[in-house]
A and B are shown apart, each in its own frame.
Chain A
Protein backbone atom coordinates (compact mmCIF):
# COMPACT_ATOMS: atom_id res chain seq x y z
CA UNK A 1 0.00 0.00 0.00
CA UNK A 2 1.94 3.00 -1.31
CA UNK A 3 -0.59 5.71 -0.36
CA UNK A 4 -0.04 8.85 -2.43
CA UNK A 5 2.80 8.81 -4.94
CA UNK A 6 4.04 11.83 -6.85
CA UNK A 7 6.12 11.71 -10.01
CA UNK A 8 8.69 13.17 -10.56
CA UNK A 9 10.31 14.17 -7.27
CA UNK A 10 12.52 16.85 -8.81
CA UNK A 11 12.44 18.74 -12.08
CA UNK A 12 14.15 21.75 -13.64
CA UNK A 13 12.35 23.47 -16.48
CA UNK A 14 13.21 26.33 -18.75
CA UNK A 15 10.80 29.22 -19.01
CA UNK A 16 8.12 28.40 -21.56
CA UNK A 17 8.48 24.64 -21.34
CA UNK A 18 5.57 22.44 -20.43
CA UNK A 19 5.32 19.49 -18.10
CA UNK A 20 2.87 17.26 -16.28
CA UNK A 21 3.06 16.19 -12.66
CA UNK A 22 1.44 12.90 -11.83
CA UNK A 23 -0.27 11.99 -8.60
CA UNK A 24 -1.42 8.46 -7.97
CA UNK A 25 -3.28 7.09 -4.96
CA UNK A 26 -4.16 3.50 -4.18
CA UNK A 27 -6.70 4.13 -1.41
CA UNK A 28 -9.77 4.44 -3.65
CA UNK A 29 -10.23 8.03 -2.51
CA UNK A 30 -12.79 10.28 -4.15
CA UNK A 31 -11.13 13.61 -3.46
CA UNK A 32 -7.75 14.67 -4.74
CA UNK A 33 -5.87 17.95 -4.42
CA UNK A 34 -2.88 19.84 -5.77
CA UNK A 35 -1.15 22.40 -3.56
CA UNK A 36 1.91 24.52 -3.95
CA UNK A 37 4.18 25.51 -1.09
CA UNK A 38 6.58 28.43 -1.29
CA UNK A 39 9.31 29.22 1.28
CA UNK A 40 7.90 30.49 4.55
CA UNK A 41 4.37 30.02 3.35
CA UNK A 42 1.61 27.55 3.80
CA UNK A 43 0.02 25.28 1.25
CA UNK A 44 -2.09 27.05 -1.33
CA UNK A 45 -4.73 25.08 -3.18
CA UNK A 46 -4.29 25.08 -6.95
CA UNK A 47 -7.01 22.72 -8.17
CA UNK A 48 -8.93 19.85 -6.73
CA UNK A 49 -11.28 17.07 -7.74
CA UNK A 50 -14.23 15.55 -5.93
CA UNK A 51 -14.47 12.53 -8.18
CA UNK A 52 -13.41 10.93 -11.43
CA UNK A 53 -14.03 13.29 -14.34
CA UNK A 54 -14.46 16.37 -12.14
CA UNK A 55 -12.12 19.27 -11.40
CA UNK A 56 -12.49 22.59 -9.63
CA UNK A 57 -10.38 25.70 -9.12
CA UNK A 58 -8.67 26.41 -5.87
CA UNK A 59 -7.03 29.57 -4.56
CA UNK A 60 -4.26 29.93 -7.17
CA UNK A 61 -5.35 28.14 -10.38
CA UNK A 62 -3.87 30.48 -12.99
CA UNK A 63 -1.18 28.93 -15.18
CA UNK A 64 -2.18 25.35 -14.30
CA UNK A 65 -4.55 22.78 -15.69
CA UNK A 66 -5.63 19.45 -14.25
CA UNK A 67 -7.31 16.26 -15.33
CA UNK A 68 -8.89 13.35 -13.45
CA UNK A 69 -9.58 10.77 -16.12
CA UNK A 70 -9.10 7.88 -13.71
CA UNK A 71 -10.12 7.84 -10.08
CA UNK A 72 -6.66 6.94 -8.86
CA UNK A 73 -4.77 9.61 -10.83
CA UNK A 74 -4.75 13.39 -10.73
CA UNK A 75 -2.54 15.21 -13.22
CA UNK A 76 -1.28 18.76 -12.90
CA UNK A 77 -0.11 20.45 -16.09
CA UNK A 78 1.96 23.54 -16.69
CA UNK A 79 1.52 24.61 -20.31
CA UNK A 80 4.15 27.36 -20.32
CA UNK A 81 6.26 27.37 -17.20
CA UNK A 82 7.24 30.67 -15.57
CA UNK A 83 9.82 31.38 -12.84
CA UNK A 84 6.91 32.29 -10.52
CA UNK A 85 5.90 28.62 -10.66
CA UNK A 86 9.09 27.55 -8.95
CA UNK A 87 7.76 25.82 -5.88
CA UNK A 88 7.23 22.54 -4.10
CA UNK A 89 4.04 20.85 -5.26
CA UNK A 90 2.08 18.50 -3.04
CA UNK A 91 -0.69 16.18 -3.98
CA UNK A 92 -3.21 14.88 -1.45
CA UNK A 93 -6.21 12.60 -1.41
CA UNK A 94 -9.01 11.74 0.97
CA UNK A 95 -12.03 9.50 1.04
CA UNK A 96 -14.55 12.11 2.15
CA UNK A 97 -14.85 14.54 5.02
CA UNK A 98 -11.80 13.05 6.72
CA UNK A 99 -8.09 13.73 6.89
CA UNK A 100 -6.11 14.09 3.69
CA UNK A 101 -3.04 12.00 2.94
CA UNK A 102 -0.13 13.71 1.25
CA UNK A 103 2.56 12.69 -1.17
CA UNK A 104 6.20 13.52 -0.59
CA UNK A 105 6.20 16.49 -2.92
CA UNK A 106 7.70 17.53 -6.27
CA UNK A 107 10.36 20.20 -6.21
CA UNK A 108 10.07 22.23 -9.42
CA UNK A 109 12.52 24.91 -10.49
CA UNK A 110 11.81 27.09 -13.50
CA UNK A 111 14.85 28.94 -14.85
Chain B
Protein backbone atom coordinates (compact mmCIF):
# COMPACT_ATOMS: atom_id res chain seq x y z
CA UNK B 1 0.00 0.00 0.00
CA UNK B 2 0.95 3.63 0.15
CA UNK B 3 2.55 4.49 3.42
CA UNK B 4 5.48 6.38 4.74
CA UNK B 5 6.54 5.66 8.28
CA UNK B 6 9.23 6.65 10.71
CA UNK B 7 11.07 4.23 12.95
CA UNK B 8 11.19 6.33 16.13
CA UNK B 9 8.63 8.81 17.41
CA UNK B 10 11.10 10.77 19.59
CA UNK B 11 14.82 11.34 19.34
CA UNK B 12 16.77 13.04 22.12
CA UNK B 13 20.31 14.23 21.43
CA UNK B 14 22.92 16.36 23.13
CA UNK B 15 23.67 19.76 21.65
CA UNK B 16 26.61 19.46 19.31
CA UNK B 17 26.04 15.80 18.53
CA UNK B 18 24.89 14.53 15.17
CA UNK B 19 21.26 13.45 14.73
CA UNK B 20 19.94 10.76 12.43
CA UNK B 21 16.23 10.55 11.70
CA UNK B 22 14.98 7.56 9.75
CA UNK B 23 12.07 6.96 7.44
CA UNK B 24 10.75 3.87 5.68
CA UNK B 25 8.63 4.05 2.57
CA UNK B 26 6.67 1.30 0.92
CA UNK B 27 6.00 2.41 -2.65
CA UNK B 28 8.74 1.52 -5.12
CA UNK B 29 7.17 3.88 -7.69
CA UNK B 30 7.98 6.93 -5.56
CA UNK B 31 10.49 9.09 -7.35
CA UNK B 32 11.03 12.03 -5.07
CA UNK B 33 11.41 12.47 -1.32
CA UNK B 34 11.34 15.51 0.88
CA UNK B 35 12.22 16.24 4.49
CA UNK B 36 10.28 18.88 6.38
CA UNK B 37 10.74 20.54 9.76
CA UNK B 38 7.73 21.67 11.74
CA UNK B 39 7.99 23.95 14.74
CA UNK B 40 5.16 24.27 17.22
CA UNK B 41 2.22 26.23 15.83
CA UNK B 42 3.70 26.57 12.36
CA UNK B 43 3.36 24.92 9.00
CA UNK B 44 6.01 22.47 7.77
CA UNK B 45 9.13 24.01 6.27
CA UNK B 46 11.23 22.47 3.55
CA UNK B 47 14.67 21.21 4.61
CA UNK B 48 16.07 19.11 1.80
CA UNK B 49 14.91 16.79 -0.96
CA UNK B 50 16.29 13.94 -3.02
CA UNK B 51 15.24 12.29 -6.25
CA UNK B 52 15.20 8.56 -6.77
CA UNK B 53 18.16 8.67 -9.17
CA UNK B 54 20.40 9.81 -6.32
CA UNK B 55 21.49 8.13 -3.10
CA UNK B 56 22.88 11.11 -1.22
CA UNK B 57 22.37 14.83 -1.15
CA UNK B 58 23.96 17.41 1.13
CA UNK B 59 22.80 20.77 2.29
CA UNK B 60 23.92 23.11 4.99
CA UNK B 61 24.47 20.86 8.07
CA UNK B 62 21.98 18.34 6.66
CA UNK B 63 22.41 15.24 4.53
CA UNK B 64 19.73 12.99 3.13
CA UNK B 65 20.50 9.39 2.25
CA UNK B 66 18.27 7.22 0.10
CA UNK B 67 18.49 3.43 -0.01
CA UNK B 68 16.07 2.22 -2.64
CA UNK B 69 16.96 -1.42 -2.09
CA UNK B 70 15.43 -1.41 1.38
CA UNK B 71 13.16 1.59 0.80
CA UNK B 72 14.79 3.66 3.49
CA UNK B 73 15.42 7.37 3.83
CA UNK B 74 17.41 9.16 6.50
CA UNK B 75 18.09 12.74 7.50
CA UNK B 76 21.39 13.51 9.17
CA UNK B 77 21.83 16.78 11.03
CA UNK B 78 25.40 17.70 11.91
CA UNK B 79 26.26 19.52 15.14
CA UNK B 80 22.66 19.62 16.34
CA UNK B 81 21.61 22.93 17.83
CA UNK B 82 18.73 23.88 20.17
CA UNK B 83 17.03 25.54 17.21
CA UNK B 84 16.82 22.15 15.53
CA UNK B 85 14.28 21.00 18.12
CA UNK B 86 11.11 20.31 16.15
CA UNK B 87 9.11 17.55 14.51
CA UNK B 88 10.62 16.18 11.32
CA UNK B 89 8.59 14.58 8.56
CA UNK B 90 9.55 12.73 5.47
CA UNK B 91 7.28 12.91 2.45
CA UNK B 92 7.01 10.64 -0.51
CA UNK B 93 5.95 11.79 -3.96
CA UNK B 94 3.89 9.28 -5.90
CA UNK B 95 4.50 10.85 -9.25
CA UNK B 96 3.98 7.84 -11.48
CA UNK B 97 1.13 8.51 -13.88
CA UNK B 98 1.37 12.20 -13.09
CA UNK B 99 -0.64 11.84 -9.89
CA UNK B 100 1.37 14.39 -7.95
CA UNK B 101 0.29 12.70 -4.74
CA UNK B 102 2.43 13.72 -1.75
CA UNK B 103 2.21 11.46 1.30
CA UNK B 104 3.72 12.20 4.71
CA UNK B 105 4.99 9.98 7.46
CA UNK B 106 3.98 10.30 11.11
CA UNK B 107 6.95 12.40 12.16
CA UNK B 108 9.84 12.22 14.62
CA UNK B 109 10.20 14.69 17.44
CA UNK B 110 13.80 15.83 17.85
CA UNK B 111 14.70 17.10 21.32
CA UNK B 112 18.06 18.80 21.74
CA UNK B 113 19.48 18.84 25.25
CA UNK B 114 21.76 21.76 26.16
Report whether B43 and A104 are in contact in the complex, using a CB–CB cutoff of 8 Å: yes
A48 within 8 A of B: yes
* Across-interface contacts of A30 in B (CB, < 8 A): 100
CB proximity of B5 to chain A, nearest CB, Å:
9
Known: A42-B107, A59-B103. A90 touches B44 (CB 8 A): yes
Instruction: Choose the segment among B13-21, B64-72, B77-85, B91-99 that binds chain A (4+ C-beta atoms closer than 8 Å).
Output: B91-99
Contact of B100 with A43 in the complex, beta carbons under 8 Å? no
Q: Would B100 and A102 count as touching, CB distance under 8 A?
A: no
- Judge if A56 is at the interface, Cβ distance under 8 Å: yes
- Residues facing B in A1-52 (CB within 8 A) are 4, 30-31, 33, 35, 40-45, 48, 50
Is the CB–CB distance between B100 and A50 below 8 Å? yes
How many residues on A have C-beta within 8 angstroms of the other chain's C-beta atoms?
29
Q: CA A111 – CA B102 in complex, angstroms?
A: 30
A50:B102 contact, CB within 8 angstroms = no
Given contacts A90-B43, A105-B43, contact A99 B100 (CB under 8 A): no
Whether, in the assembled complex, A58 has its beta carbon less than 8 Å from a beta carbon of chain B, the answer is yes
- B102: which A residues are within 8 A, CB to CB? 31, 33, 45, 48, 92, 94, 100
Residues on A facing B (Cβ under 8 Å): 4, 30-31, 33, 35, 40-45, 48, 50, 56, 58-59, 90, 92, 94, 96-105
**Besides A31-B102, A97-B31, A97-B93, 11 other A-B contacts (C-beta < 8 A):** A45-B102, A45-B104, A48-B100, A50-B99, A90-B43, A92-B102, A96-B100, A97-B95, A99-B46, A99-B49, A105-B42
